């Protein structure tokens, strides 16, 4: 609490930090997007390889 007659002025450090924080948040968002996309692509590629090496069912054995 401030004594009567004094004003509490806002500190300008927050205003100076905003230009540094916003680009950092954007960079983190881009990195997370690329990492997620890469993991999904890797999973799809792994599933494709697994399907390629699966033995095909032999129709003669089922008859």
> Per residue in 17-26, pLDDT tens?
888 899 999 9
DSSP SS3 for 24: helix
Question: Is residue 18 exposed (0-12), middle (13-18) or buried (19+ Cβ within 10 Å)?
Answer: exposed
Tokens linked to 50: 């697994």
Query: Is 38 within 8 Å of 32 (Cβ atoms)?
Result: no
Note the pTM of the prediction, 2 decimals: 0.58
Per-residue pLDDT at 13: 80
Please tell me the distance from the alpha carbon of residue 20 to that of residue 26, in angstroms, as a whole number.
11
Please tell me the distance from the alpha carbon of residue 11 to that of residue 13, in angstroms, as a whole number.
6
């Amino acid at each position: 609490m401030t004594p009567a007659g004094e004003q509490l002025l806002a500190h300008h450090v927050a205003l100076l930090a905003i230009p540094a924080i916003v680009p950092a948040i954007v960079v983190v968002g881009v990195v997370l997007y690329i990492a997620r996309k890469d993991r999904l692509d890797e999973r799809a590629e792994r599933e494709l390889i697994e399907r390629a090496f699966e033995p095909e069912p032999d129709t003669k054995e089922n008859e």
